[in-house]
A and B are shown apart, each in its own frame.
Chain A
Amino acid sequence: MFTEFFYELRNAKVPVTLREYLTLLEALDKGVARYNVNEFYYLSRSALVKDEKNLDKFDRVFGKCFEGIEFTAEDDVHEIPEDWLKQLTEKFFTEEEKAALEAMDWDELMETLKKRMEEQDERHEGGNKWIGTNGKSPYGAHGYNPAGVRIGQDKNKNNKAVKVWDKREFKNLDDGLEIGTRNMKVALRRLRRWARDGNAEELDLPDTIRSTAKNAGYLDLKMVPERHNSVKVLLFFDVGGSMDPHIKVCEELFSAARTEFKNLEYFYFHNCLYEEVWQDNVRRRADKLGTYQVMHTYPHDYKVIFVGDATMSPYEIVHPGGSVEHWNEESGESWMQRMLSVYPKAVWLNPVPEGYWDSTPSIEILKQIMSHRMFPMTLEGLERAMKELSR
C-alpha cells in the first residue's frame, strides 16, 4: 500500500522495519486514522519514528511522497496584508510592470504574482518547496505553496494553511553525526567491570541456604554487597588554545563519564603533558599538581584517557623547554612515556577528524608514543577506545 513510502524512509536513513510498517497497516485497518491526511501523518509518524532526531527526516520524506495529496487551492489569498504585497511587487516586478499593475484588479494581480513567483522558482530553485529557507521568499519560514500564495502563521488553527509536515518543526532535533551524552554513556558502558564491595545489603540466597543447611536447618542469613561498576578512570583534558572549538564535545564526554564511573579523577593540561597538571582551570596557576604526585597517588590499575587535539608544534613534544607556556626541564615525550609505563591501559581521544591526522606531524608523533592507541572522538572511535581499554 505505502511500500514506496516505506522504502523512501529507509533510503533517507530513518530506521524503519517491517514490523513497524505492519503495525501502521494494522492501525489503518482498524480505522485509527479516518481518511484524513493529517491523521494519517500523525499516525504514521507515531508508528514509524521512534526517536525525535529522525522526525525531521521523516517530515521531509513524507512531504516528498505525499506531495499534492492534500487540497491545495484554498482561496485564502485575500488574507495577505497590504504591505506584504508591496514587498512582493518590489521583489518580482520591474518598474514598468509595477506601473501596469496599478491598473489590475486584486485577482489579476494575485494571478500574475503567482506566475511570476513560479517562474522565478523554477529558474533558481528547481522546484524546491521550502523557498523560505533559502532566504528568497518574503513569507518567512513556511514559504509559499506553489498552488497559491499563503501567509505562514495562520491564526485559525483548523484552517491548515501550511501542511504540518512542511513546517518541519523538528528540524533542530536532527543531530546527524554529532554524539550526545546518552550515546557516549552507552559507549562508555563497555568499560564496566562489576564487583561487589561496600556495605552488605543484598540477600545472598545460595550462601544463606548453604549455611542454613550447615546450621542444622537453623536460619542463618548471609548478605553480600551490591554489585557496582568498579572501573577506575583518570581523565586528562587538553584545555585552551586549539581545543576551544571542541569544548562542547569535551563537556559531553565529561558529563557522560562523570555519571558512568564512580571512580573518576580528572586533570587538565595544555597541549602536551608535562610535569604539572591542574584540576581547576580558574586557579590553574595557583593549584598545580605534580604529574609525579598523580602517578604516585593512583595505582596502576587505573585506566587513563587523554582527550586532546594533539595539534601543536612538534617541538612541544620532543624537546625539553618546548612548552609554549613555561620552561620544561624534560620533554613532553618523556612525560608521556613515564605515564604510559605507570598506566599500561591508556588511550588518546582526538576530536580532530581522523582524516586530518596525517597532515599534522604532532598528531603522528603522539600516536607513535601512544603506540597507535589514538582514536577519533566519534561514537565509533569511542567504542574502539573502550574496547582497547577493557582488553
Chain B
Amino acid sequence: MKFEGTDTYVATEDLMVAVNASITLGRPLLIKGEPGTGKTVLAEEVARALNKPLIQWHIKSSTKAQQGLYEYDAVSRLRDSQLGDEKVHDISNYIVKGKLWEAFEGDESPVLLIDEIDKADIEFPNDLLLELDRMEFFVYETQEQIVAKNRPIVMITSNNEKELPDAFLRRCFFHYIQFPDPDTMRDIIGVHFPEIQKTLVSEALKIFYEVRDVPGLKKKPSTSELLDWLKLLMAEDMPEEILRERDPNKLIPPLHGALLKNEQDVHLFERLAFLTRRENR
C-alpha cells in the first residue's frame, strides 16, 4: 500500500514519503501550505489511489470535538417520550454517530479528512488527542468503548490561522506543501489540461511567476488559481501572442480576475502599469 501520486495529482517525492510514513505507522498526517496548493485534494487523491472510502469532516469555528465522535439527541428522545414511542427505552437510539465513529467502524480502513482544523476553537485539537492516538473513545450514555476496527488514514489540513498545541503536533507527521517550482508546475498543468499547447503554458507560467514576484501583493495567486486562469484562457481561445506581448500599456494580464482576488492587488497592478508608462514616455 503505497501512495505515488495519481493521474490527476502530482506528488513530489517528499510528499510521498510523508504520506507513506503516516499510512505505514497509522499516525495522522498534518498538511500545511499556502492556500490553493492542493491540501484538501490530497486526501481525495490518496483515497482514490488506495481505493478506499473517503470520509470528510469539515471544521467550522463552531465545531466541537465531541461532534466528531457522537451526539446525544436529547430533544427527540424527550419528544418520543411524550408520544409514548417504544424507542425511547433504549438510549442508543438517540446517539448520533459522528465522522470519527463512522471512520472507526468501516470494514476497511477509510481515509478520514479533517479539513481546516485551525478554524475550530483553540482547544479543539487537544480534545481529540486520545481519540486520534489510540483510535478509540468511550460513549458515556451507553457505556460502550468504541475501538477502530482498522486504523483509518487520518489527514489533517491547516491554514495556519491558529497555532496547534504541541501535544497534538507530537502525534502527527507533518508536511508543508512548498509552492511548486516551474517544472513541477508544468507537470501539474499537464495532468489537468493534457491538450493545452506547450507555448501557451510557458507564456502563462512566465506571467504567473512574474505576478507572484510582484512585491506587496496581499494574496499571491496559487496553483488552483493558475489552473482556473488557464481554463479561462483556453475557454476564451486566447492566442498566445497576447500573452507574449510585453506591452507596458497592458501590464495587467488578460482575464486577471482569476489570478488577483483582491481589489487592492488589482489597484497595485494598475499603479505599476501607470508607472511604467510614465517611465517610457
Given contacts A203-B74, A205-B74, 19 further A-B contacts (CB under 8 A): A23-B25, A23-B27, A27-B21, A30-B24, A30-B25, A31-B24, A32-B17, A32-B20, A32-B25, A43-B17, A46-B14, A46-B18, A50-B30, A50-B170, A182-B163, A186-B163, A189-B122, A218-B82, A221-B78
- Given known pairs A50-B169, A50-B170, A221-B75, the reply for A170 and B176 (CB within 8 Å) is yes
Interface size class of B (residues with CB under 8 A): 35 or more
Give the CA-CA distance A219 to B169 in the complex, in Å. 45
**B156-198 interface (Cβ within 8 A of A):** 160-163, 166, 169-176, 178, 183
In the complex, which of the residues A26, A42, A189, A203 contacts B17, with contact meaning CB atoms closer than 8 Å? Answer: A42
Interface size class of A (residues with CB under 8 A): 35 or more
Are B13 and A182 in contact, with the CB atoms below 8 A?
no
B: which residues have CB within 8 A of A?
13-14, 17-18, 20-22, 24-25, 27, 29-30, 32, 74-75, 78-79, 81-82, 122, 160-163, 166, 169-176, 178, 183
Give the CA-CA distance A42 to B13 in the complex, in Å. 8
Give the CA-CA distance A50 to B160 in the complex, in Å. 12
The chain A residue sitting closest to B171, CB to CB, is A19
- By DSSP majority rule, is chain B's interface helix, strand, loop, or mixed? helix
Q: List 8 A-B contacts (CB under 8 A).
A: A30-B24, A32-B17, A32-B25, A39-B13, A55-B176, A157-B183, A182-B160, A183-B163
In the complex, which of the residues A27, A157, A164, A183 contacts B25, with contact meaning CB atoms closer than 8 Å? Answer: A27
Residues of the A chain whose Cβ atoms lie less than 8 Å from the Cβ of B14: 42, 45-46, 164
- Given known pairs A15-B166, A19-B170, A23-B27, the reply for A33 and B32 (CB within 8 Å) is no
In the complex, which of the residues B21, B27, B82 contacts A43, with contact meaning CB atoms closer than 8 Å? Answer: B21
- Given known pairs A169-B178, A170-B176, A221-B75, the reply for A185 and B17 (CB within 8 Å) is no
Minimum Cβ distance to chain B for residue A243 (Å): 20
Residues of the A chain whose Cβ atoms lie less than 8 Å from the Cβ of B169: 50-51
Are A46 and B82 in contact, with the CB atoms below 8 A?
no
Residues of the A chain whose Cβ atoms lie less than 8 Å from the Cβ of B81: 219
- Given known pairs A20-B170, A186-B162, A208-B78, the reply for A32 and B21 (CB within 8 Å) is yes
Residues of the A chain whose Cβ atoms lie less than 8 Å from the Cβ of B25: 23, 26-27, 30, 32
Are A17 and B17 in contact, with the CB atoms below 8 A?
no
Does A388 sit within 8 A of B, measured CB to CB?
no
Give the CA-CA distance A157 to B75 in the complex, in Å. 60
Are A47 and B21 in contact, with the CB atoms below 8 A?
yes
Are B21 and A38 in contact, with the CB atoms below 8 A?
no
**A175-220 interface (Cβ within 8 A of B):** 182-183, 185-186, 189, 203, 205, 208, 212, 218-219
In the complex, which of the residues B82, B160, B162, B174 contacts A49, with contact meaning CB atoms closer than 8 Å? Answer: B174
Does A52 sit within 8 A of B, measured CB to CB?
yes
Q: Which of B21, B22, B162 has the most CB of A within 10 A?
A: B21
